[in-house]
Structure 1
Amino acid sequence: MNEITITLPKSASFQAPTNPGSLLIPSILFTPIIIFFMYFLVKAIKERQKMYAFLTLMFATTGIANLLNVISSILPSPATGQVTFIAAQLLDLISMLALLLVFQLFDKDRLLNWQLVAFISLVTMISGTMLSDPNIIHSVEGGLHVYFFEHRTLGGVLLLVFSIASITWLVYNFIKMRREATSKKQKSIVKWLMIGIVFSQVLGAFAPVTFNLAPGWLEMDRIIGNITLFKSIGMLIVGITFYKVGNTPWLLQRQHVQLLLVYSRSGIPMFSRIFDKAMTDSDVQLLTGAMTAITAIFNESTKVARAIETILFKERELRIIERPAFLCVLLEEYSTHASETAHENFVRDFERNYGMEVASFSGNQNAFDGASEIVNRYFA
């Protein structure tokens, strides 16, 4: 078994912390993290949405990691403290992976791409070096035990690479998502998530560098408390942001919608909203006629009365919701839980608000001009 290297100063005896606030504040902030964990756990169970499942994992691992970091700083035994410290670092890595998966789901409704596979591989290698041959430097500052990994080792280099690469990937995706988001509310979500990431991940990721480079006259217990404080505040910002959109799940993912179309059973357009600037009103007319013809041919050939629900193209997906007097078509790059929810809610509100107009429809599309407000509510 490989031995763990611990560098102990001569005066490594435990003392009472000179700054009790460095432990008190993180302990207080631990409570809302647990509350968010319970909230997202309930949402994940009730709604079966992957986004909530990974948010639950992120808050669970972050909360436990913060607690273990505090415990490791007050344990009198360095051997026990370093084991607790390693466990906290492993949970921090899992938390970061969960965060990366959350934003992958926000952007696209699939879990893995080559970047995330690379991140998972890095985390696996880092975890292996932490467990098999950790080089941990230990000191006692201000009555608190301070642990961090020696940076001139393979594990330290991999950890630094992972931190820089993951933060760079997040920042890049934040910029892209904010630029491409069509909703002001969604742009606001992206902005606050970015602020939360700066607090919770950037400061936390480079905390070991802070310890290693800090001059001796700094109060290390204050630094420990501030870093844990910033990480907790960052996670609270992330939690509050997702909590605020809990009742508007269509904002939880970036939508890639080209067209929303409502047409009558006879194939006459009733209402449409074009999101793709390359599409024209003529394209809408052609699509309406094509959908009416395809549905009629399908029903006649298969003897099935219900309309087609989904048509998959190479780079597009067309979803259809059928109602007794009309059909609603959503053309998008690919279907997500967010777009499906928005589509269903639009159809529900459209049918409720314009039931009489639909029943007496004779070709006057102006009767549905107010439906733009419903579109703005769920799509714009």
Structure 2
Amino acid sequence: MLFQSHQPSGFAIIAILYPFFTITPLLIFLALFLVHFKKIRQKMFFHISMLFAATIINQACLMFMVVTSQEAAAKALFIAAQVLEVAGMLVMVIVLEAFEENKLFSPRVAGFTAIAAAIVGAMISGPDLVATPIDLPITSGYIIGFGRRDMAGFLMGIFPLLVVIWLVRSFITKRKLTRSQHQRHLLSWLYVGIFLAQVTGSLAPVLVDSMNPGGMLRELSANIGIGRVVGIVMIGVAFSRVAKTPWLLQLQRVHLLLVYATNGITLYSKRFREDITDTDVQLLAGAISAVASLFKESTKETSPIEAIQFKGKSVRVIDRGTFTCAIMVDFASQASDDAHERFVRDFETAFAAEIAGFAGEISKFEQADAVAAKYFA
């Protein structure tokens, strides 16, 4: 369907051409997260990189759509942009699921994946698209949208709506579980970004198009679409903070952080529960050491033990040779493992001399509270 060409207003021209200006910050975030992924090989940063890559290609499709003189090409670019938008939404769901609970697959992910697949199927099966020619100062092109009763457009409206409903419930639940003001600020910033990306960037333009296909409200749709990029950038800012302190996005509980020497003496412990006593700490240190020794003797295995799993609890162990660090958490995740490894690295750097010359004095290790607070506050 083709509507009569019209000359957009000055503000509408800016809105239509906004992808030309948003590519640069998106590329910066993509490079940043690829570097993080290369350094620590954490899947979260790979998924976030894919989110920004999909958004960049999405914006590129929108850029070429408004400057192409071929209606068929403009429609093809629009379909590609919508498919990438759906892929980006799905990646966000996977990131939030995988990073918090280390689950790459869950009923929610399966459900959203099924809807995404239905949208892609509707997209490639010939959707009813409305093409509005536009005359820009230096070129001409098209703004493409869905017809009023098009199934692909309907699904494109339903998908972000369902994501938003899930996000609102998720935000309320997670905010109740936050343990610090820093976590609450990060969570609010992240969810506002996702809300902008989904509601103003994905849902609202579809609703506008369905109410007024091909009309002047199409300019409003283009303006609203800017919110998607703003939201994606906010998500990038939030996860760049998480890259430095991964525990900020973890809402699971850490129960105990324990460092003990090769002779079994506890060098440092941080109790995150009031019911854990000094005796419990000593018993746990002895138990971990005994289990590791028993396992090595019975299996003739030389590599150190890395985890002891209980129902509802997990003890992760890092053996540095001169000392061992154990952490008890509700469940192991990429974030908890990363925070654990960073703590061990900083502890080893800060107390290398004290560990090498350890003669029984443990008070000097109390300064490790600052390191623990950095990663587990």
The answer, yes or no, to whether TM exceeds 0.5 is yes
The match for 2:226 is 229
Please name the residue that 2:211 is paired with.
Answer: 213
Matched with 1:53 is 46
Shift of 1:330: 0.9
User: 1:96 aligns to what?
Assistant: 89
Aligned letter for 1:17? P
Correspondence for 1:148 among 110, 135, 145: 145
Secondary structure, in 3 states, of the residue corresponding to 1:206? helix
Which of these residues, 80, 84, 97, is aligned with residue 77 of structure 2?
84
Q: Which amino acid aligns with 1:47?
A: I
RMSD: 3.0
Cα distance change, pair 16–139 in 1 and its aligned pair in 2 (3 A)? closer
Distance in 2, matches of 1:349 and 1:45, equals 20
For 1:134, the aligned partner's letter is: P
Aligned to 1:340: 337
CA distance in 2, matches of 1:203, 1:233: 10
SS where residue 8 of structure 2 aligns? coil
Distance 1:272 1:53, change over 3 A: same
CA distance, structure 2, for counterparts of residue 216 and residue 302 of structure 1 = 72
Match among 35, 41, 44 for residue 37 of structure 2:
44
Give CA-to-partner distance per residue, 1:194-223, whole Å, 9 cap, x none.
1211222211222111233369995643x2
Bigger CA drift: 286-295 or 275-284?
A: 275-284
Deviations 1:322-368 (A, max 9, x none): 24443221112222232222222222333333445544443x65443
Indicate which of 307, 311, 314 corresponds to 2:311.
314
> Of 100, 104, 116, which aligns to 2:109?
116
1:100/1:170 contact within 8 Å kept? no
CA apart distance, 1:193:
1.2
Q: What is the rounded CA distance, in whole Å, between the counterparts of 2:51 and 2:281 in structure 1?
A: 43
- Secondary structure class of the residue paired with 2:110: helix
Distance in 2 between the 1:361 and 1:265 partners? 12
Q: Measure, in 1, the Cα distance between the counterparts of 2:115 and 2:148.
A: 16
Percentage identity across paired residues of the two chains: 34
Higher mean Cα deviation, 368-377 or 339-348? 339-348
Which of 280, 285, 288 is the equivalent residue of 2:285?
A: 288
Under a length normalisation based on structure 1, what TM-score does the superposition of the two structures give?
Answer: 0.85
**Higher alpha-carbon deviation: 159-168 or 209-218:** 209-218
The count of aligned residue pairs is: 369
Does the Cα contact within 8 Å between 1:66 and 1:228 map onto a contact in 2? no
Q: Distance in 2 between matches of 1:163 and 1:343?
A: 35
Partners of 2:17 and 2:63 within 8 A in 1: no
User: Is this contact kept in 1: 2:146–2:210, CA < 8 A?
Assistant: no
Partner of 1:135: 128
CA gap of 1:279–1:306, structure 2 versus 1, over 3 A, is: same
Could you tell me which runs of 5 or more consecutive residues in structure 2 were left unpaired when the two chains were aligned: none
Given that 1:263 and 1:328 are in contact with CA atoms closer than 8 Å, whether structure 2 keeps it comes out as yes
Deviations 1:155-211 (A, max 9, x none): 344333322111222232233333324354343322211121122221122211123
1:174 aligns with 2:171: yes
Cα gap change, 1:70/1:357 in structure 2, threshold over 3 Å: closer, same or farther?
closer
Check the 8 A contact 1:183/1:379 in 2, yes or no.
Answer: no
Query: For 2:226 and 2:366, how far apart are their aligned partners in 1?
Result: 51
Counterpart CA distance in 1 for 2:238 and 2:168 is: 17
Q: Look up the equivalent residue of 1:108 and give its one-letter code.
A: E
Q: Is the 8 A contact 2:147 2:213 kept in 1?
A: no
Residues 6 and 135, structure 2, Cα contact 8 Å, conserved in 1: yes
